């Protein structure tokens, strides 16, 4: 606490989470003592000519202001301000640290405000204080909240027990002031406490008496054998006593098959576990909601973790991302005997909250929909049947997967455990998350075709190989909303349709598009046969190409159908009314029907088609996250799919069948924009090169049998027939770590198979690949970098599991060493470069020993060591040549637990904009830029927490195998390592006369005022200075502080090649 020198006024110490409140109090303390002027610079700084007395008074005020500020900061945060000597600088540093007005910080505070809820029995005064602090923090961020907003937020955070007072306040026409509401709430709190104490005293004697009674039938406390509820339910056989934890089952299952399920075993250890050893066979539902839920104080949107329910249950239809109605409803029996009906089941998506603010998206399968149930239930039995484990503790519980990872957490409130999660409603689900539904996959494969259209395809059997279940509903598709939402249509007027194909054809041109296609096109031209509604499409760079494309199209369709074009209906666009176009139509005897200017309804078929195609393209690009330059690819695919989709214009067949005379197969269809792995022909790879390249599906070939693919690395479009698809990944999605992907996609609670195609089906056979004759000519490839995959011999695929023989191991490591870096010690030591890797490991261990990074100790009881591994890297220069082999020992920091072996982790790095500006200043001021690399930088950081680690592989000391490393300094891989290193480096730079710039904490300038700048990017240091002597001086000082490598003048940094020309003054 800091106390003013003139009064007993105190300022709450700044602890990192109360900056808004602290700033107001500290400012008022400074104002009260007349010191604020030296902080905001409103007091003029004395001139050189001023009297010594005036200078002394100003310095005294400045020192007092500095003391007031510094003494009101917790010691653990003093590293932020370094060596304080100026209150203005200290005040600004604290503002930079805690008052960054970024949207992310505002979002954090908004979430914090929404999460503040008063618990039953909690202190109203404390709750209001916490909310006020959050209001102040938001105000500091520039998010002003008036009294009305604060009152509304406060009332919304109250529990059900305060509903009476909230209802009374709502009766007022005007929102009462915050002071009035606070007074009323404190009065209501006193009344509730009086009622509670009264009821407690009345029943104290009987409760004390009952708690000491043990039942001789079930061995539980609180009742006699004659009143045992187990006997009342027919359990006459006396049970052996088993200690049970305090978590009361919320639901008990029963279903049509009447099979009884056994509860998972309990234990009396520090935590109670439910494991997959449970022998429950209850696959059907029906449950009882206990009296614990009848209070009605629980949020209906919460999820209760229930050890008695045999199935997950939700009361909210909008939470289901996949849903189907039950043909026969199933009963759900409540504790008071009432029965509710389960009317459907499906998949529910949840955002699970983990420690440290992390969240993962999970999905619960086979969730029953019971609209009348007051709460959502998570079945422990369902979880454990999938091989997961639930550990119960006194205040919380953890759901743990097979790899010992915590995938979900619960918090205990009263006698119940609540899942820590946020609801994800259908409207907020991204298309990438809706990957479990086969029906939704078909919706995407057909270019986001409507649900009714998919039903017609299935019910009327308009296409072959269409595995679609019409009983299941498609969840709300956000991409369709973004791409297709429009006003309701006007009533249509009936018209007569032609008897034959090509009797009437509609045509229109759409464009220009803002973004050119891959081939540079900005327009597209459509032709629609009125009889069959078959569509042809061409993309154009200029409208003037329309006539040549018309001739090309006419020759093609007349040859295919052996029919002649009779009527062409278009708008009045200049591309259709040119002299050349009209003379040709007259010469061929083709009637040209033109719509009246500004009356597009007269060419309604073509105009409506343009809108439909644009909507489909918009939805496909939105779903796949591909850039707009792929619009022509999406357009071509949309036409291909529309010709194979249901339309009211053609009875009992698709346009494809109506035009070609054969029913199309859709077995080969895949989701547009999904990840594809194309086979690489033998002549394009060596023995040990990968046999497939990662691509993106753009559509179906218009010249060969195969798929049209985009190679993201080579920026090329090509065709291939040997492709494996991953329809769960869309667009330019970064490849993620396997463990993270599994957690985020499948929740870790229900990992039932959602794959629609097995490995064999994923590789199309001759009949699965699209026929080039069926593909519209949509894309002009003449100016694109395209290539065609060579044909490979079709080899029968074995169904046996393929394993690499052990006797190939050494040979493979040796032959492949030059192509990739080792992934393990064994691989490094069996490679051709084993001597280089061994030297690199020795260098790393010497650095660790010289820095005294750890000491070997016995592992204390209750502690768990983290693992470590060797990471190998070949460092290359700007010319791609190998400069050195580097081995680094990395701690497996992912197993650290927040609050136990790490706390704060944030560490800044210089922004690229700042580094570019540093180079620009160097050019302008004639500075030379040098580079230094700190060897094993993280080893210099000092740890505050107790962290234990296993001894590294290959360096376990003989006779001390059971000892572990107690880390004294940070190590690469630890969560706090970057912060520890940055703190040490920041302190050292300040010691040698450098200060952080206001704009970027990783750009330092000299206090002396000379043109010397230092830029920090983790362990890479840029030095920009004009004087050679000054450069040598700074390098020498840094070399004495750390083990560094002087790389000389900057020529290669963060993957960027840099050329400095001192003569011309350029970089």
Read off the pLDDT band of 20 (50, 70, 90): confident
> Residue 214: inside a domain, yes or no?
no
- pLDDT higher at 13 or 461: 13
Report the pLDDT averaged over residues 390-412: 85
- pLDDT higher at 689 or 800: 689
SS3 content of the chain, % helix, strand, coil (to 5): 35, 20, 45
Q: Is 306 a catalytic residue?
A: yes
Return the percentage of the chain with pLDDT > 70, whole number.
72
Catalytic pick among 306, 401, 530, 780: 306
Last residue of a domain, one of 429, 452, 467: 429
* Residue 509, domain CATH: 3.30.420.10
Most confident of 173-177, 464-468, 584-588, 896-900: 584-588
> Residue 434: inside a domain, yes or no?
no
pTM exceeds 0.75:
no
Residue 1051 predicted with pLDDT over 80: yes
If asked whether residues 763 and 851 sit together in one domain, one would say no
Residue 269 predicted with pLDDT over 60: no
Residue 795 predicted with pLDDT over 50: no
Rounded to whole angstroms, the Cα distance separating 771 from 777 reads 13
If asked whether residues 425 and 507 sit together in one domain, one would say no
Rounded to whole angstroms, the Cα distance separating 928 from 1028 reads 9
Q: What is the pLDDT of residue 565?
A: 94
Shortest CA distance to 297 belongs to which of 473, 47, 122?
A: 122
Rounded to whole angstroms, the Cα distance separating 1020 from 410 reads 43
Sheet holding 591-594, edge to edge: 535-540, 523-529, 505-510, 567-570, 591-594
| CA 532 from centroid of its chain's CA atoms | 45
Read off the pLDDT band of 495 (50, 70, 90): low
Query: In sequence order, what DSSP letters do the residues of 337-360 get, joined into one string?
Result: S-EEEEEEEEEEEEEEE-GGG-EE
If asked whether residues 634 and 773 sit together in one domain, one would say no
Rounded to whole angstroms, the Cα distance separating 298 from 413 reads 10
Write out pLDDT tens, residues 920-973. Answer: 888 888 889 999 888 777 777 778 788 888 999 888 888 888 899 998 887 877
If asked whether residues 131 and 65 sit together in one domain, one would say no
* Half-sphere exposure for 327 (CA within 13 Å, toward CB): 1
> Residue 1046: inside a domain, yes or no?
yes
643 with 670: CB under 8 angstroms?
no
Least confident of 259-268, 414-423, 554-563: 259-268
If asked whether residues 86 and 107 sit together in one domain, one would say no
- pLDDT higher at 894 or 898: 894
If asked whether residues 71 and 195 sit together in one domain, one would say no
Read off the pLDDT band of 695 (50, 70, 90): very high
Q: How many domains does the chain have?
A: 6
If asked whether residues 338 and 365 sit together in one domain, one would say yes
Read off the pLDDT band of 743 (50, 70, 90): very low
Q: Going by C-beta distance under 8 Å and a sequence separation of 6 or more, which residues neighbour residue 155? A: 166, 169, 181
Read off the pLDDT band of 682 (50, 70, 90): confident
Write out pLDDT tens, residues 811-867. Answer: 333 333 344 578 888 888 888 888 888 999 998 898 888 888 889 999 888 888 888
Report the pLDDT averaged over residues 1043-1067: 83
Q: What is the pLDDT of residue 540?
A: 93
* Average model confidence (pLDDT) across the chain: 74
User: Residue 761, preceding bond cis, omega within 30 degrees?
Assistant: no
670 with 445: CB under 8 angstroms?
yes
If asked whether residues 361 and 391 sit together in one domain, one would say yes
Last residue of a domain, one of 80, 98, 116: 98
If asked whether residues 654 and 688 sit together in one domain, one would say no
Rounded to whole angstroms, the Cα distance separating 968 from 211 reads 51
**Which helix or strand (DSSP H or E) is residue 781 part of?**
none
Return the percentage of the chain with pLDDT > 90, whole number.
8
- pLDDT higher at 491 or 576: 576
> Residue 157: inside a domain, yes or no?
yes
Read off the pLDDT band of 229 (50, 70, 90): low
If asked whether residues 773 and 897 sit together in one domain, one would say no
If asked whether residues 566 and 594 sit together in one domain, one would say yes
> Residue 1027: inside a domain, yes or no?
yes
Q: What is the pLDDT of residue 156?
A: 84
In DSSP terms, 473 is beta-bridged to: 323
Report the pLDDT averaged over residues 6-30: 77
Read off the pLDDT band of 244 (50, 70, 90): very low
Most confident of 399-408, 474-483, 560-569, 693-702: 560-569
> Residue 822: inside a domain, yes or no?
no
If asked whether residues 851 and 996 sit together in one domain, one would say yes
Write out pLDDT tens, residues 64-84. Answer: 998 898 888 888 788 788 777
Last residue of a domain, one of 64, 80, 98: 98
Write out pLDDT tens, residues 1011-1039. Answer: 889 998 888 899 998 888 889 888 888 88
Q: What is the pLDDT of residue 100?
A: 62
Write out pLDDT tens, residues 293-324. Answer: 433 344 666 888 887 777 888 888 878 877 78
> Residue 586: inside a domain, yes or no?
yes
Q: What is the pLDDT of residue 505?
A: 93
Read off the pLDDT band of 365 (50, 70, 90): confident
- pLDDT higher at 554 or 208: 554
Residue 725: give the domain boundaries. 674-742+759-788
> Residue 407: inside a domain, yes or no?
yes
């Amino acid at each position: 606490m800091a106390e003013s020198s003139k009064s007993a006024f105190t300022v709450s110490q700044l602890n990192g989470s109360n900056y808004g409140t602290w700033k107001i109090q500290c400012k008022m303390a400074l104002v009260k003592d007349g010191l604020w002027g030296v902080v905001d610079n409103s007091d003029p700084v004395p001139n050189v000519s001023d009297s010594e007395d005036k200078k002394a008074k100003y310095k005294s005020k400045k020192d007092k202001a500095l003391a007031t500020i510094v003494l009101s900061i917790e010691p653990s945060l003093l590293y932020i301000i370094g060596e304080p000597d100026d209150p203005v600088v200290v005040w600004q540093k604290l503002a930079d640290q805690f008052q960054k007005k970024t949207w992310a910080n505002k979002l954090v505070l908004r979430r914090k405000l929404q999460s503040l809820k008063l618990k039953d029995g909690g202190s109203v005064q404390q709750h209001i204080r916490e909310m006020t602090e959050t209001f102040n923090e938001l105000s500091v961020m520039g998010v002003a909240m008036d009294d009305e907003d604060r009152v509304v937020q406060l009332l919304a955070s109250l529990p059900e027990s305060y509903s009476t007072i909230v209802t009374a306040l709502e009766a007022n026409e005007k929102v009462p002031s915050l002071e009035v509401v606070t007074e009323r709430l404190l009065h209501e709190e006193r009344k509730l406490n009086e009622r509670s104490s009264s009821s407690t005293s009345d029943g104290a004697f009987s409760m004390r008496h009952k708690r000491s009674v043990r039942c001789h039938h079930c061995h539980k406390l609180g009742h006699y054998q004659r009143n045992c509820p187990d006997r009342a339910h027919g359990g006459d056989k006396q049970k052996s006593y088993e200690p049970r934890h305090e978590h009361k089952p919320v639901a008990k299952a029963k279903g049509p098959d009447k099979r009884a399920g056994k509860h998972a075993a309990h234990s009396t250890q520090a935590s109670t576990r439910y494991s997959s050893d449970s022998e429950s066979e209850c696959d059907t539902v029906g449950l009882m909601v206990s009296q614990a839920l009848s209070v009605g104080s629980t949020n209906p949107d919460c999820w209760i973790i229930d050890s008695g329910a045999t199935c997950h249950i939700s009361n909210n239809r909008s939470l289901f991302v996949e849903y189907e109605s039950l043909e026969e409803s199933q009963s759900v029996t409540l504790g008071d005997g009432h029965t509710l009906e389960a009317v459907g089941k499906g998949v529910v998506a949840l955002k699970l909250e983990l420690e440290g603010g992390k969240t993962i998206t999970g999905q619960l399968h086979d969730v029953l929909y019971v609209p009348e149930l007051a709460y959502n239930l998570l079945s422990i039995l369902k979880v454990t049947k999938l091989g997961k484990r639930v550990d119960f503790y006194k205040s919380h519980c953890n759901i743990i997967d097979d790899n010992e990872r915590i995938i979900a957490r619960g918090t205990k409130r009263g006698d119940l455990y609540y899942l820590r999660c946020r609801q994800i409603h259908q409207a907020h689900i991204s298309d990438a998350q809706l990957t479990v539904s086969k029906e939704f996959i078909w919706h995407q494969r057909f270019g986001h075709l409507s649900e009714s259209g998919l039903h017609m395809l299935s019910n009327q059997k308009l296409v072959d190989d269409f595995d679609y279940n019409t009983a299941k509903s498609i969840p709300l598709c956000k991409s369709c909303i973004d791409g297709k939402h429009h006003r309701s249509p006007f009533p249509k007027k009936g018209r007569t349709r032609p008897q034959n194909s090509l009797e009437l054809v509609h045509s229109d041109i759409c464009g220009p598009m803002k973004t050119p296609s891959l081939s540079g096109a900005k327009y597209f031209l459509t032709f629609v046969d009125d009889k069959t509604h078959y569509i042809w499409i061409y993309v154009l760079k200029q409208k003037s190409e329309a006539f040549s494309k018309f001739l090309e199209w006419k020759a093609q369709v007349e040859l295919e159908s052996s029919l002649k074009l009779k009527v062409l209906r278009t708008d009045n666009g200049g591309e259709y009314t040119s002299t050349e176009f009209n003379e040709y139509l007259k010469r061929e005897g083709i009637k040209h029907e033109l719509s009246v200017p500004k009356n597009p309804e007269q060419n309604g078929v073509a105009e409506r088609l343009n809108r439909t195609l644009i909507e489909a393209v918009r939805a496909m690009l939105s779903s796949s996250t591909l850039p707009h330059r792929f619009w022509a690819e999406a357009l071509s695919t949309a036409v291909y799919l529309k010709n194979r989709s249901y339309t009211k214009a053609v009875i009992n067949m698709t346009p494809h069948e109506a035009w070609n005379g054969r029913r199309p197969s859709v077995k080969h269809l895949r989701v547009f924009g999904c990840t594809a792995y194309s086979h690489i022909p033998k002549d394009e790879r060596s023995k040990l090169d990968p046999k497939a390249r990662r691509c993106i599906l753009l559509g179906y070939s218009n010249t060969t049998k195969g798929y049209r693919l985009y190679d993201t690395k080579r920026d090329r479009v090509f065709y291939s027939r040997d492709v494996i698809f991953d329809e769960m990944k869309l667009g330019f999605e970064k490849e993620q770590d396997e463990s993270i992907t599994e957690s985020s996609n499948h929740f870790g609670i229900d990992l039932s198979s959602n794959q629609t195609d097995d490995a064999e089906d994923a590789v199309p056979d001759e009949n699965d690949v699209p026929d080039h004759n069926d593909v519209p000519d949509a894309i002009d490839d003449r100016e694109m970098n395209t290539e065609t995959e060579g044909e490979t011999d079709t080899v029968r695929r074995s169904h046996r599991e393929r394993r690499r023989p052990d006797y190939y191991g050494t040979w493979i490591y040796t032959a492949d060493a030059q192509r990739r870096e080792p992934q393990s010690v064994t691989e490094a030591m069996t490679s051709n470069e084993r001597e280089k890797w061994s030297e690199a490991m020795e260098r790393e261990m010497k650095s660790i020993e010289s820095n005294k990074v750890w000491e070997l100790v016995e592992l204390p009881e209750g502690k768990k060591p983290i693992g470590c591994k060797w990471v190998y890297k070949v460092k290359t220069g700007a010319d791609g040549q190998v400069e050195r082999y580097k081995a680094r020992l990395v701690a497996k920091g992912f197993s650290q637990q927040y609050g136990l072996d790490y706390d704060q982790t944030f560490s800044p790095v210089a922004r690229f904009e700042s580094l570019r500006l540093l180079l620009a200043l160097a050019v302008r001021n004639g500075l030379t830029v040098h580079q230094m690399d700190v060897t094993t930088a993280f080893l210099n950081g000092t740890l505050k927490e107790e962290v234990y680690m296993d001894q590294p592989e290959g360096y376990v000391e003989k006779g001390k195998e059971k000892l572990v490393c107690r880390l004294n300094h940070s190590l690469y891989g630890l969560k706090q390592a970057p912060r520890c290193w940055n703190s040490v480096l920041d302190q050292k730079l300040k010691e040698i006369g450098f200060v952080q710039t206001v704009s970027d904490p990783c750009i330092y300038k000299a206090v002396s005022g000379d043109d010397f700048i230092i830029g920090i990017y983790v362990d890479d240091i840029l030095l920009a200075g004009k004087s050679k002597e000054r450069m040598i001086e700074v390098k020498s000082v840094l070399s004495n502080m750390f083990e560094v490598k002087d790389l000389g003048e900057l020529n290669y940094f963060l993957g960027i090649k840099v050329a400095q020309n001192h003569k011309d003054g350029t970089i």
